[in-house]
Amino acid sequence: MKRDDGSPGFGVYLHWPFCAAKCPYCDFNSHVRHQPVDQERFAEAFRREMAGMRQRTGPREVTSIFLGGGTPSLMKPETVGAVLDAVAANWTVPDGIEITLEANPTSVEAERFRGYRAAGVNRVSLGVQALNNTDLRFLGRMHNVADALGAIELAREIFPRLSFDLIYARPNQTLDAWEAELREAIGYAADHLSLYQLTIEEGTPFYALHRAKKFAIPDPDHAADLYELTQVVTEQAGLPAYEVSNHAVPGAESRHNLTYWRYGEYVGVGPGAHGRFVEGRQRIVTIAERHPENWLAAVEQNGTGVTSGEQLTPWEEADELLLMGLRLREGIEVHRYEALAGRGFEPERLSFLQGQGLVESIGNSRLRATPAGMSVLDALVADLAQ
């Protein structure tokens, strides 16, 4: 597989918005349909919207493709092949770039996985979320632990690369229980794990249940302890954090996600998809219609489902670069920030934060958050951006 060259990159994100069921913690743009989705019609709309995006971006070389959702593993392999062919028809897609597909253990079938591999997918990201059946039921997942382990085994057999997600800081989760579960997960992992703290998002069923005190999540101090434990265990196991919530064997980081965090460019195609790319000399934001059928109708009528967007000022770009880049262990390129912001960091503030052990310089060219800074990242970014 093509190795990461350290550049921000140019990615293509394809959003498949359909799920078999909506998880109670999820605030992503996902939708349940009780009748079969017309996949051929949606694939044609993806092709049409990509053609319009190509006119806006001009010729580009793609560094990664990500099929996210929703549940892209509900797509037929022929649909995946069709949308990947459309990417290659509009931009240059070198051999061996990372092409990721998100999958749920309940929608995993050997024949389908082999079909995705034949279509060009070379990395799969599984939504495991827990290795505990009680907590899987709490999280509204439709699979059990046996399903998850079967999906992991099958994915390791078929795909060159595998990642899977776990959610921690769940109700009543002790440090000992999380450490045992995390070590078990590392034993199954290939080269990448995404480990997220459970957050209560407004508008989700969990939000209402949490407000009604139907369950409680760990308090901030306990959540911080769980986070610190996660860093220690994964580091010891050879999967250190390269981003706040993502851990990998060195060299196996997600190229597509690095594009986001390095503040690269990406095209977003599909219902609710966002994009950020340079058009002319201006970085622009695109946001597509969220409702799948409304997006489909808009593309068929107008050639695009994009309903809003904006042009970013250099100062807004600098803020976004800082917000995204400090999530990474590699940090940010200082000269790139200075070129966008039109100034450097305020020396006294930077010196204070360094003295507090929250940020550190890497040579003369990069700045990164320390482990202590990562735990207060939002406040740190706000402080540096002033």
pLDDT in tens, 111-156: 899 999 999 999 999 999 999 999 999 999 999 999 999 999 999 9
pTM (2 d.p.): 0.96
Residue 106 — pLDDT band, cuts 50, 70, 90?
Answer: confident
pLDDT in tens, 57-94: 999 999 999 999 999 999 999 999 999 999 999 999 99
> Residue 275's beta-bridge partner residues?
286
pLDDT in tens, 288-329: 999 999 999 999 999 999 999 899 999 999 999 999 999 999
Give the pLDDT mean for 358-378: 93
Residue 2 — pLDDT band, cuts 50, 70, 90?
Answer: confident
What pLDDT score was predicted for residue 294?
A: 98
Check: CB of residue 95 under 8 Å from CB of residue 43.
no
- Distance between alpha carbon 16 and the CA centroid of its chain, in Å? 14
Give the integer Cα–Cα distance in Å for 67 and 82.
12
> Buried b vs exposed e over 41-78: b needs ≥16 C-beta within 10 Å?
ebbbbbbbbbebbbebbeebebbbbbbbbbbbbbbbbe
One-letter amino acid at 73 equals S
One-letter amino acid at 170 equals R
Helix pair angle (314-325, 377-385), 10° resolution: 150
Two tokens, residue 357 = 């052990």
Residue 339 — pLDDT band, cuts 50, 70, 90?
Answer: very high
Mean pLDDT over the full length of the chain: 95
| Nearest residue to 210 (alpha-carbon basis) of 220, 196, 200 | 200
Strand ranges in 20-160 using DSSP code E only, listed in sequence order? 31-32, 64-69, 98-103, 123-129
